Amino acid sequence: MGRIVVGVDGSDASKRALEWAAEEARLHGASLELVFVYHPPYVSETIASPEQADAIFLRPKQDAERVLAQFATEVRDVPVETLAVEDASPANALVDHSRGADMLVVSARGMGAFRRLILGSVSSQLAHHAECPLVIIRGGKHG
């Protein structure tokens, strides 16, 4: 096994997915690729200053990079790469990163059947489209 991709978003659930993936990487001598997918900003007003532009366009990426750096420091004895990816569809971005990976690990938020019908679930989309084995970490502690 060479590369395990982990979708993270800063939540406790994604931290559990990372913990699980890190242990798997240690057991198999793999590296981790942490991917945080953030949404591109929607701007409905005129941008009045460079500072306002920075706040609108740079903030989401900076927030993603901050979470990635924090999560990466919690992993020991495993090579880690971090990627902040701008995409309106987390599922599509993670499918792209699953190409050539040995495993994709994500957490499930458990939105419920009705909301999943309307919005679509990232983990459900990944189950159908990921290009490598997929592990979905459900709520609660693993072990």
Dump pLDDT digits (tens) for 87-113.
999 999 999 999 999 999 999 865 555
Q: Which CATH architecture has domain 3-137?
A: 3-Layer(aba) Sandwich (3.40)
Query: Two tokens at 109?
Result: 């938020």
Dump pLDDT digits (tens) for 78-90.
999 999 999 999 9
**What is the rounded CA–CA span in Å between residue 1 and residue 24?**
10
DSSP for residue 95: H
pTM of the predicted protein model? 0.84
pLDDT score recorded for residue 54: 72
Query: Two tokens at 20?
Result: 């699980």
pLDDT, greater one: 38 or 142: 38
